[in-house]
Amino acid sequence: MQPLGWLVAVLCVVGPVVRIAVDAVRDDPSLPQVWLAEAARLVNLDAEGNIPTYVSTMLLAGVAVGLGTAAALVRARGGRSWPLWLPAGVAAFLSLDELASLHEQLALLADLAGVGGGLNFTWVVPGVLVALVVGVVLLLAARRLSRQLRLRLVVAGAVYLFGAVVVETASSPLFTPTPEGVAEAPAQSVAYVLLNVVEEGLEMVGALLALRAALSLLRLASTRRGLLVDLDPAAPAVG
């Protein structure tokens, strides 16, 4: 877990530093602007299809696999597995969302209903409603989990949602959209870039905490036949 934590920390430092530096010299024709722009895009926490995106996708996919594996083992022993399958499914969807930006399609629903509220990120309005519904369902499932696992997953979810919903909503007024008919996106303010770091950083930290909780349920052992994965008897999954 520690290497992943360091990776997240490095991305949260390198991403904004490179982005701010490249924006500061974007009007200098003597510099290789194409290369600089691509370097900034690769580590931009606010962009898609780059290093931070794949790290977030990997973390959430790890949560889904960890909880799913624990659920399968619990079910194989005749236990109640749905309280683990449910958060595993949510983590899998969030992993897919990181890769495909599915949540931004909620903007179409917000625009259709006229509930954008003057925000630059109109998807946040229906997104809050979806998050509330999913959160209530997950809390009901969490009541069936062991106390330690429940606390770890609730904290991880709260950190993730605070970044994904609260901080992103707060950053919306600072975002400068691309004017219609203009191909190149405008430079964002330093305030927006830094707030975006907080948002994306909290999402990755929340995913890291959830991954740690999921892996705490499993025990790995090396055998002659290969790697054995089993439930850790010291960390009960279901209360």
60 touches 112 (CB < 8 A): no
pLDDT value at position 137?
Answer: 84
In 3D, which of 93, 166, 156 has the Cα closest to residue 124? Answer: 166
pLDDT tens-place values along the chain, 239 residues long:
789 999 999 999 999 999 999 999 988 889 998 999 999 999 999 888 899 999 999 999 999 999 999 999 999 888 889 999 999 999 998 998 888 776 565 555 555 555 555 555 556 666 667 778 888 888 888 888 888 999 999 999 999 999 988 898 888 888 887 776 666 777 888 999 999 999 999 999 999 999 999 999 998 877 777 778 888 887 777 76
pLDDT value at position 123?
Answer: 60
Question: What is the C-alpha separation between 15 and 10, in angstroms, rounded?
Answer: 8
Diameter over CA atoms, the chain: 68
Label residues 99-136 b or e (16+ Cβ within 10 Å = b): beeebeebbebbeeeeebeebebbbbbbbeeebeebee
Question: What is the C-alpha separation between 180 and 22, in angstroms, rounded?
Answer: 23
Q: What is the residue type of 70?
A: A
Q: Name the token pair of 215.
A: 């892996």
Q: Name the token pair of 86.
A: 């449910």
